[in-house]
Chains A and B, each alone.
Chain A
Amino acid sequence: MDQDNRIGDTLLEVKNISLSFGGVKALTDISFDIKEGEIRAIIGPNGAGKSSMLNVINGFYHPQEGEVWFRGKKREAMKPYQVARQGVARTFQNIALFKGMSTLDNLMTGCITHMKTNIFLQAIWKGPAEREELEFRERVEHIIDFLGIQAIRKTPVGRLPYGMQKRVELGRALAAQPKLLLLDEPMAGMNLEEKEDMSRFILDVNDVFGTTITLIEHDIGVVMDLSDRIVVLDYGCKLADGTPDVVRNDQAVIDAYLGVSHDD
């Protein structure tokens, strides 16, 4: 019943997406929806098209066929930064932080879509630009507290260990106050403790900020525990879609993961 309160209407829906690069078909006729407030996982073996799917959602790839509906409206083909302005943020499989900048600056950059002062006010600084800067500094400090990264606030992120960088990247995505947060393998390459931390953050983000989360993850245990519903992709096709229990018992999914003998 807690579930039912948390999850609302459809936030994003992809309809019959097909994407190919030259002769290679990355995605074939994929449809699914993401409901407001839920944690939605996309899983599948390597090369199944999971990251391509995220890239379609955030406008980095433009599918040859199919439609993306966001908040009840059909989305025209748009640039990634326009998608970001609509409230979609993401993290990357191999960390894409701004390595020369401090943790604080990376998070402040995450807020950039909300900042408005023009270049002349910025040059003068005193007045509107400074006020805006401080307002967002406060917002960013909340995220820093939330993620427990106070100590590395002023450290250039290039110097941080891998697990911390993943955390800062999550922070940068959160700083945008997204409606939809896309996480591309948030736990890749982490040890057990870091995975537990990250899982807790994902649940808390969903719970505290009410952010809808879509994640790709290979650790099936984590995925089954965290997500409300799961889409399974294999070779660019959708195999299954449903709650963890449904997916776990789906014969096609079991075959895809465990392999199936083809010689009958």
Chain B
Amino acid sequence: MFYRESGDFKTNYADDQQSFPIKLDRYAVWILLAFAFFVVPFFINDYWEKSVLVPFLVWSMAALGLNILTGYCGQVSLGTGGFMAVGAYSCYKLMVAFPGLNIFFVVILAGLITAVVGIAFGLPSLRIKGFYLAVATLASQFFLIWMFNKIPWFYNYSSSGMITAPERTMFGIAISGPSAPSWATYLFCLTLVTIFAFMARNLTRGRIGRAWKSIHDMDIAAEIIGIPPLQAKLSAFAVSSFYIGMSGAMLFGVYLGSAEPGEAFGIDKSFLVLFMVIIGGLGSILGSFLGAAFLILVPVLMKNIMVGAFGWPADLAAHLELLFIGALIMFFLVVEPHGLAQLWRMTKEKLRLWPFPH
């Protein structure tokens, strides 16, 4: 009744093609962003930063990246963890090599380096599809992690084999390193994710997004109407790896502070991001955020309820949490195979008519 599009007339094509054509959606997004930027930083504490908001933002970025490749372009990838590692190690090498470089640009450069690596590992996608491509990207996952473990140049010959982020500042405020204030790391991640989420939306609704979607829907027809498959697939790999590389750089530089490749960027992380994308909704920007929220925030919530409220032992809670998350994943996939984003779309459809049945 209140959420509706009637009376919201579009008189030109620009209005009709904007990102949020329904007025209420538009307001909701602006209010949410205003809240996230101007209210949350004043109240954020270390717990919220470290366990909730920053991991959510970092994994949202990774999910956005994989969604571009898998959801929009239809190329399955299990190399996400490896590409995040490329982002993290590029970030580390850049931080160490250019101490004066603003961390904002370090993260973006790390993304660009990952994009180049992504193009190289995307080349097999021209010949192989589906499960076979997933196996080929799996090879990149193992190869990249192996490389970062075995070649000492990448971790600057440190004796532990780990990389540790030095303190880097932006406008005189520490963003990385142990003394960075909560609000600064949060705002840094939020800014990056907001900018690049809008860019992802722009890319996916325009010419390139349509080329990706057409490759996803029917690649032969796409080629016959004039879309070079090579260009479309590799650009999807490049953009996707760019996002994933940035999330890797943020994960290492801003969130973890130090990392060891096998643990921080292992195959389980590739699956984690793939689950986020599938549960959130393939081919949906909103879905990337919903999926990341689901897989990052629900465990935190459950831990709080079971350990904090009920006082159960932590190890029991951890096991129950795994069981429950697994059950929830299955439940959602059975109820709505197109993910949380589709569930949200259907809720909106219903809301438009409410309280009338038709």
Specify the chain B residue showing the minimal Cβ separation from A138: B13
Specify the chain A residue showing the minimal Cβ separation from B235: A119
B287 to chain A minimum Cβ distance, whole angstroms, is 14
The answer to whether B25 has its CB under 8 Å from any CB of chain A is no
Chain A window 98-112, contacts with chain B (Cβ cutoff 8 Å), 1 for yes, 0 for no: 111100010011101
CA distance in complex: A84, B229 (Å): 13
The answer to whether A117 has its CB under 8 Å from any CB of chain B is yes
B72 to chain A minimum Cβ distance, whole angstroms, is 10
CA distance in complex: A79, B218 (Å): 17
CB pair A99–B208 under 8 Å, yes or no, is no
The answer to whether B239 has its CB under 8 Å from any CB of chain A is yes
CA distance in complex: A124, B201 (Å): 10
CB pair B210–A109 under 8 Å, yes or no, is yes
Chain A window 138-172, contacts with chain B (Cβ cutoff 8 Å), 1 for yes, 0 for no: 10010000000000000000000000000000001
CB pair B218–A98 under 8 Å, yes or no, is yes
A117 to chain B minimum Cβ distance, whole angstroms, is 7
A181 to chain B minimum Cβ distance, whole angstroms, is 12
With an 8 Å Cβ cutoff, the count of chain B residues facing the other chain is 29
CB pair B217–A98 under 8 Å, yes or no, is yes
CA distance in complex: A109, B208 (Å): 9
Specify the chain B residue showing the minimal Cβ separation from A85: B226
Specify the chain A residue showing the minimal Cβ separation from B229: A81
Specify the chain A residue showing the minimal Cβ separation from B220: A96
Q: Using A96-B218, A100-B213, A100-B217 as known contacts, say yes or no to A109 and B225 having CB atoms under 8 A apart.
A: yes
The answer to whether B227 has its CB under 8 Å from any CB of chain A is yes
A158 to chain B minimum Cβ distance, whole angstroms, is 9
The answer to whether A41 has its CB under 8 Å from any CB of chain B is no
CB pair B225–A84 under 8 Å, yes or no, is yes
Q: Using A100-B217, A137-B17 as known contacts, say yes or no to A105 and B210 having CB atoms under 8 A apart.
A: yes
* Chain B hits for A92, CB < 8 A: 221
* Chain B hits for A109, CB < 8 A: 210-211, 213-214, 222, 225, 227
The answer to whether A133 has its CB under 8 Å from any CB of chain B is yes
Chain A window 52-75, contacts with chain B (Cβ cutoff 8 Å), 1 for yes, 0 for no: 000000101000000000000000
* Chain B hits for A96, CB < 8 A: 218, 220-221, 224
B204 to chain A minimum Cβ distance, whole angstroms, is 10
CA distance in complex: A91, B202 (Å): 29
Q: Using A138-B13, A176-B226 as known contacts, say yes or no to A112 and B207 having CB atoms under 8 A apart.
A: yes
Q: Which residues of chain A in 163-201 are interfacial with respect to chain B, using CB atoms and an 8 Å cutoff? A: 172-173, 176
Contact of B199 among A80, A105, A123 (CB under 8 A): A123
Contact of A176 among B218, B221, B222, B225 (CB under 8 A): B225
Chain B window 194-208, contacts with chain A (Cβ cutoff 8 Å), 1 for yes, 0 for no: 000001001100111
CB pair B220–A130 under 8 Å, yes or no, is no
CA distance in complex: A246, B203 (Å): 54
The answer to whether A232 has its CB under 8 Å from any CB of chain B is no
The answer to whether B316 has its CB under 8 Å from any CB of chain A is no
Specify the chain A residue showing the minimal Cβ separation from B202: A125
CB pair A122–B210 under 8 Å, yes or no, is no
* Chain A hits for B227, CB < 8 A: 81, 109, 112
CA distance in complex: A95, B220 (Å): 12
CB pair A133–B213 under 8 Å, yes or no, is no
The answer to whether B223 has its CB under 8 Å from any CB of chain A is yes
The answer to whether A90 has its CB under 8 Å from any CB of chain B is yes
The answer to whether B283 has its CB under 8 Å from any CB of chain A is yes
Q: Using A84-B225, A97-B221 as known contacts, say yes or no to A122 and B213 having CB atoms under 8 A apart.
A: no
Specify the chain A residue showing the minimal Cβ separation from B209: A122
Specify the chain A residue showing the minimal Cβ separation from B213: A101
The answer to whether A220 has its CB under 8 Å from any CB of chain B is no
Contact of B224 among A90, A97, A119 (CB under 8 A): A90
CB pair B226–A98 under 8 Å, yes or no, is no
Q: Which of B17, B206, B226 gathers most chain A CB within 10 Å?
A: B226
CB pair A115–B225 under 8 Å, yes or no, is no
The answer to whether A89 has its CB under 8 Å from any CB of chain B is yes
CB pair B203–A119 under 8 Å, yes or no, is yes
Q: Which of B199, B207, B210 gathers most chain A CB within 10 Å?
A: B207
CA distance in complex: A38, B185 (Å): 66
CA distance in complex: A133, B207 (Å): 8
Contact of B217 among A99, A115, A119 (CB under 8 A): A99
* Chain B hits for A137, CB < 8 A: 13, 17
Contact of A84 among B213, B224, B283 (CB under 8 A): B224
CA distance in complex: A60, B220 (Å): 9
CB pair B217–A101 under 8 Å, yes or no, is yes
Contact of B206 among A84, A113, A129, A173 (CB under 8 A): A129
Interface residues, chain B, CB within 8 Å of chain A?
13-14, 17, 199, 202-203, 206-208, 210-211, 213-214, 216-218, 220-229, 235, 239, 283
Known: A96-B220, A113-B225. 19 other contacts (CB 8 A): A80-B223, A81-B223, A96-B218, A96-B224, A97-B218, A98-B214, A98-B221, A98-B222, A100-B283, A101-B210, A101-B214, A105-B213, A109-B214, A109-B225, A112-B211, A119-B239, A122-B202, A122-B207, A130-B14
Interface residues, chain A, CB within 8 Å of chain B?
58, 60, 79-81, 84-85, 89-90, 92, 96-101, 105, 108-110, 112-113, 115, 117, 119, 122-125, 129-130, 132-134, 137-138, 141, 172-173, 176
Would you list the 10 A-B pairs with minimal beta carbon distance, nearest first?
A84-B226, A96-B221, A113-B226, A98-B217, A125-B202, A123-B199, A115-B207, A137-B13, A109-B210, A122-B206
30 examples of A-B residue contacts, CB within 8 angstroms: A81-B223, A81-B224, A81-B226, A81-B229, A96-B220, A96-B224, A97-B221, A98-B218, A99-B218, A100-B213, A100-B216, A105-B210, A105-B213, A110-B225, A112-B211, A117-B206, A119-B235, A119-B239, A122-B202, A122-B203, A123-B199, A124-B199, A124-B202, A130-B14, A132-B207, A134-B14, A134-B17, A137-B17, A138-B13, A173-B225
